[in-house]
Amino acid sequence: MYILKTLIAHDLKEHLKSKFMQAVFIFAVVIIYASLLFSALSPEQEPRVLANFGLAATELVGVIAVLFGLSSAVIKDIESKTIYLILSRPVKRWQYITAKYIGLVLSVWVMVFLMGLVLETVLLIKGGGIDLSILRILVSTCLKISVLGALALLFSLISTSVLSAIIISGIFYTLGHFIAEIKFITKKLAITAKILTLPLKYIIPNMAIFNLNDILNADNGNFAGWNVLIGYTLVYSAVCVVIGVFLFKKREF
């Protein structure tokens, strides 16, 4: 456990010191600029536009960070031969993979909350109050990012190419938002096609349940509940990481 903690702490520190903080800064500048622009374009709906713009930017920056970070994490270590140094020490392979996953996901969480803080500050400056629903939306965004991160890690271990891992994870991420449309389409399909597409419904992560911004603002938004969201994230991520560890163990260095 001590080794795992040390590895996670090392990864977390490394990521926070590097490009993540720069991304936070750029985001802060962009959102302040956007707030000025949108206040002129839509004066009566400024808080809504600003919050939606900020939350979308937060999520996208988080998604990009986790996709690039976890798709390349292991491959980069292999290419730079750092992995030999790590694995030659008393570090088990499952500890290495798990630490990579948790370290990067935690650093993205920190980044998401920092961006949320910037957003809340801008909203406060613009005359709004502290909106606690933004905090809830940020938590659900973090859970969504964790699921995507686990997928990216798994695909990077399957494909051995950063680009293909990013593309496949990206496809899963986008399909995850089309659950309502997939349901609609499958209803129209012939029985054979319906059976053939059934496994897809059980593999694609349901990203729509994490869209708390939509759920909180819809008249009949069905919130799955925090226990379901957290349970789903833990189980989905665990399955991906376990399969990833299994594949990594089979590799020879």
Partner 1 sequence: MKVFLFLVLLVLFTFFQYKTSKVETAYPAVHSFGDSVMRDAGYLSLGLRRLGADISFVELLQYYGTPELETMRISAKGKHVTKEDIEMSEYSLYGIAPKVYSAIEGGNYPQILSRARYILSLDPYFKYAAVFSAGVLAFNLNRGMEAIELLEFAKKYSPYYKDYDLYIAAIGYSKAKNPEKAAQILDEAIKNPQTPAIVKNVTAFLHKKLGNYRRAYEIYLDIYQNSKDPKYVDRAEKQLTEMKKLLKPTP
Residue burial 49-58, b: 16+ Cβ < 10 Å; e: rest = bbbebbbebb
Question: Residue 71 Cβ, how far from partner 1 at the closest point, in Å?
Answer: 18
Question: Residue 10 Cβ, how far from partner 1 at the closest point, in Å?
Answer: 27
Distance CA(65)–CA(253), nearest Å, equals 28
Could you say which DSSP state residue 209 is in? G
**Which residue intervals of the chain are DSSP H helices?**
2-17, 19-41, 46-79, 82-87, 93-125, 132-159, 162-176, 179-188, 191-203, 212-217, 226-250
Distance CA(195)–CA(109), nearest Å, equals 38
Closer residue to partner 1 in complex, CB, 43/129: 43
Question: Residue 106 Cβ, how far from partner 1 at the closest point, in Å?
Answer: 22
44: phi then psi, degrees, rounded to nearest 5? -80, -15
Closer residue to partner 1 in complex, CB, 160/174: 174
Could you say which DSSP state residue 184 is in? H
Question: Residue 206 Cβ, how far from partner 1 at the closest point, in Å?
Answer: 4
Question: Residue 240 Cβ, how far from partner 1 at the closest point, in Å?
Answer: 10
Report the interface residues with partner 1, using CB under 8 A.
38, 41-46, 48-49, 52-53, 56, 59-60, 174-175, 177-181, 183-184, 201-202, 206-211, 213-215, 217-222, 224, 228, 231-232, 235-236, 238-239, 242
Closer residue to partner 1 in complex, CB, 49/154: 49
Closer residue to partner 1 in complex, CB, 83/146: 146
Closer residue to partner 1 in complex, CB, 78/211: 211
Question: Residue 36 Cβ, how far from partner 1 at the closest point, in Å?
Answer: 14
**Which residue intervals of 126-217 are DSSP H helices?**
132-159, 162-176, 179-188, 191-203, 212-217
Closer residue to partner 1 in complex, CB, 83/118: 118
